[in-house]
Copies of this chain bind each other. A is one copy, B any other.
């Protein structure tokens, strides 16, 4: 059974009644609920817990980590970010949602600014599938529609995705690479754009389906890391081995 940890900053939920109205158990709460229904072994972790809830014991027992953050990226300790990164390189899957594009962990794995255009105007977003056989799109029709979302627009300053899964159309005239996969070390990374805190995006069944699919996709096939460092020759050398 895939072990999932849903990490959430959990600040908007404390500060904004719209958000707490939409997500009374927090964004981590709703995500963990629909993942549990699907049969995953789910726990949650939030910023204000000790070690942000991401102790060594939690990380070693996590196959896939989901990340939602926005207001307080800077409050995430560098030491924890580094541990999460090492765990991704070992094979833990990472799913970064929406404003997590600016999280320390995502920027560190991408190597770019991860900046973008944005606008909060409650406009329509339509996410088109551009990789129709990909397992992350299973059960999704040709496009998803969200009546109200925050706009994120290109240029999105990320390395070219290994696989581009979704492209968003926005009512206001922009486009966005909304579903992007990467490999880092043994780990798989999926960025998925939707999920602004003041809209009911995570109640949408198709959005839930994409996240469920992504958990299955990101779960490690195997976590055996290669051996690095000094290595004896496997074949005889003409000059002999001098070291």
Give the B-binding residues of A (Cβ under 8 A): 89, 91, 108-113, 115-124, 126, 128-135, 137-139, 142, 148, 151, 153-157, 159-160, 162-164, 167-175, 177, 182-188, 220-235, 237-243
Contacts and interface: CB of A to CB of B under 8 A. Distances in A.
A121 B174 CA distance: 20
Given A108-B111, A110-B111, A186-B132, A117 B154 contact: no
Contacts of A138: 221-222
- A131, A132, A134 pick with most chain B CB within 10 angstroms: A132
A160 B221 CA distance: 18
Contacts of A229: 115, 117-118
Given A159-B184, A230-B118, A225 B126 contact: no
Contact of A142 (B128, B129, B182, B227): B227
A228 B224 CA distance: 37
B231 A121 contact: no
Contact of A120 (B137, B222, B238, B242): B242
A133 to B, nearest CB: 3
A234 B131 contact: no
Contact of A89 (B113, B182, B224): B113
A211 to B, nearest CB: 16
A108 to B, nearest CB: 6
B184 A175 contact: no
Contacts of A241: 119, 121, 172
A142 to B, nearest CB: 6
A155 B227 CA distance: 8
Contacts of A151: 231, 233
A151 B237 CA distance: 12
A73 to B, nearest CB: 16
B239 A119 contact: no
Given A121-B237, A133-B220, A169-B169, 18 more contacts: A89-B157, A108-B111, A112-B185, A119-B232, A121-B233, A124-B238, A126-B234, A132-B225, A133-B183, A133-B221, A134-B183, A139-B222, A155-B226, A157-B228, A159-B183, A160-B162, A160-B164, A164-B164
B164 A132 contact: no
Contact of A119 (B132, B133, B231): B231
